[in-house]
Amino acid sequence: MLASLTYYRMPDQGPTASTISGLMDALWAALSSATDYNGTALAATHAWTWAREGTTKSVYGVPPTGTMTRGMKILIAGDTAGAPTMASPDAFVASCPMAGIALAAGAYTAWASATPFTSGIWSGYWKMAGTTYNLTSAKVRCFISQEDVIIALITTTGNVQAWAKIGAIIDANASGGRLGTDAETDGRLYGMFTTGAGSVPAAWQNGIPANGPVQHYTSDGSEHMMVFAPGTSAFWTCGRGYVTHNTQTAARFTFSSGAYGGHPIVICKATSGRTFDGSLIGNLRGVQYGGKRMSGTVAPAAGTTTAHFLSPDTTSAAADGIILTAAA
């Protein structure tokens, strides 16, 4: 089993203009900040190297040196025109934020190049959200771990959101002869999920509704999830292999002591539609089901933040949330 991921919540940022460039500027400011939302300096283990094209067409990141072996880079992009390589089934839409991931990635070239890096394996882009987040009143909230990034785009209502998770996102719990078959030789599976052009539903954990996180659907602009098949340029579409039962409550995700525990999110291959009962892939890293939580709240223990909560509601504890183990 891989070492657990921990997350810094980065400073919230608002688009500098009601344009895709304004939204990309906000993503750049959030992701490249040297301090988290409390002003705490990021540890070297979480200090990614970020760069951007123009002001701003794309933001791309390289994780800190660690035990990953696949030369991963992630890329967030969007512009008013272009003809980039898209991942099936999505088609390019002007002013739409998009996400992609590259392995064995060479130097960056341009966001709309057929392959945005000079070498390596490129996923193509999936829509990360719709164009409605290109507003100065919207908000970008990012979480950075040692090996992946979680992005939440939030409109003024606080309960209209789009999410993405990009990087070394799956622990395949593999060792020995399974390495290279069920996981990369470093034990990881690299990929992403995006919730598409709609918004994350409030009740997504006990079902598979449209635009739900950690799942895949086969229409343009819907939610998508993939990991690269080990050692190849092909990828497996996948999603939450089982769901918790009935309406969620906060109590179900805490121990008798009040400590936060959560439930692991098991990932299986997609078989059809929004069905994920194919081969077991592994566990989603750094994230667990968290019951109904208000987004932006934390779990304190003796004055120290132990967990961040993310849900599609920033005003009440009425929506299904996830728990992210806090780095600080």
Range of lowest pLDDT (55-69, 172-186, 230-244, 248-262)? 248-262
The answer to whether residue 291 is domain-embedded is yes
Residue 3 lies in a domain: no
- d(C-alpha 222, C-alpha 215), whole Å: 10
Structural domain including 29 reads 8-325
| Mean per-residue pLDDT over the chain, rounded | 93
Task: Give pLDDT, residue 280.
Answer: 93
Residue 1, in any domain of the structure:
no
The pLDDT value given to residue 243: 63
247 pLDDT band (50/70/90 cuts)? low
Residue 182: both structure tokens together: 């069920």
175 CB burial (10 A radius; 0-12, 13-18, 19+): exposed
For the chain, percent of residues with pLDDT exceeding 70: 96
Which of the pair, 23 or 304, is modelled with greater confidence? 23
Q: Within a domain: residue 87?
A: yes
Identify whether 220 is part of a domain: yes
Neighbours of 39 (CB within 10 A): 8
Write down the pLDDT at residue 304: 83
pLDDT tens digits, residue range 23-41? 999 999 999 999 999 999 9
pLDDT at position 251, please? 73
Are 101 and 128 a contacting pair, CB within 8 Å? Answer: no
Q: CA-to-CA distance for 52 and 75, rounded, in angstroms?
A: 9
Split into its structural domains, the chain has a count of 1
Using the predicted structure, report yes or no on whether residue 244 has a pLDDT greater than 80: no
Q: Is residue 2 in some structural domain?
A: no
pLDDT, residue 107, reads 97
Residue 246: the pLDDT is 61
Residue 62 in contact with residue 166, Cβ under 8 Å? no
Gyration radius (Cα) of the chain, Å:
18
* 120 lies in some domain: yes
Residue 95 has a pLDDT of 97
Q: Quick one: pLDDT band at residue 192, thresholds 50, 70, 90?
A: very high
**Cα–Cα dist 265/281, whole Å:** 11
pLDDT tens per residue across span 313-327: 999 999 999 999 999
| pLDDT for 245 beyond 70 | no
Q: Is the peptide bond before 89 cis (omega within 30 degrees of 0)?
A: yes
